Structure 1
Amino acid sequence: MHRQAIGLIENGDWEGAHNLVQDESDTLSCLLHAYLHRDEGDIGNAGYWYRRAGESFPDNSLSEELERLKSML
């Protein structure tokens, strides 16, 4: 499911990726959810999902963050 969500992100399908992770509570799903909200500019919601994942808001670009998330697969 995580690989599929990342593939959807890479193909520009924000809604499809969001639908895959929105009801999940594992760490990587929360981080992907945070990434998606960060990508859409909803920083408050992104921060919430980073906190749910036990992380602080990252100080990196979206492309760097996606690479970090891919490395967690």
Structure 2
Amino acid sequence: MKTISDFKASLTSEQAPGGLSPQLQALWYDGKGDWHQAHAQVDHLSDRQSAWVHAYLHRKEGDIWNADYWYKQARQTRPDISLDEEWEQLVAEFI
């Protein structure tokens, strides 16, 4: 995966492309509308990048307290942008 466009195009596939990082796997499943599978990709990880994706997922879920905890773990602040914009920002960060 080299571009956000490539990543978005892969969402039409039944399976995630091989070689994706856990963060991109989570974002891929989220892009497919499978929040639970997306969450499962990062829930057990403690690195800052995974925490950032984890924060986004809890923000999307509407669990702002939990999201803010994970943003803090990621050393990020909760953004004041749409969820779609944050998803694209995260994909761009991890490609």
Amino acid corresponding to residue 46 of structure 1 in structure 2: A
In structure 1, stretches of 5+ residues that fail to align are none
1:58 match: 79
**Cα drift, residue 37 of structure 1:** 0.5
Q: Structure 1 length normalisation: TM-score?
A: 0.93
Q: Identity percentage over the alignment?
A: 48
| C-alpha distance in structure 2 between counterparts of 1:53 and 1:59, whole Å | 16
Aligned mates of 1:40, 1:46 — CA distance in 2:
9
* Secondary structure of the structure 2 residue equivalent to 1:72: helix
1:34 to 55, 60, 65: 55
Q: Which of 28, 35, 45 is matched with 1:24 structurally?
A: 45
Once residues 47 and 27 of structure 2 are traced to their aligned partners in structure 1, the CA distance between those partners, rounded to angstroms, is 15
Corresponding residue for 1:9?
30
* Distance of 2:54 and 2:90 partners within structure 1: 11
What is the deviation of 1:34? 0.5
Higher percent of residues as helix = 1
User: What 5-or-longer segments of structure 2 have no aligned partner?
Assistant: 1-21
Following the alignment from structure 1 to structure 2, what is the Cα–Cα distance between the partners of residues 49 and 31? 6
Deviation (angstroms), 1:56: 1.3
Alpha-carbon RMSD: 0.8
Greater CA radius of gyration, 1 or 2?
A: 2
TM superposition shift of 1:42: 0.4
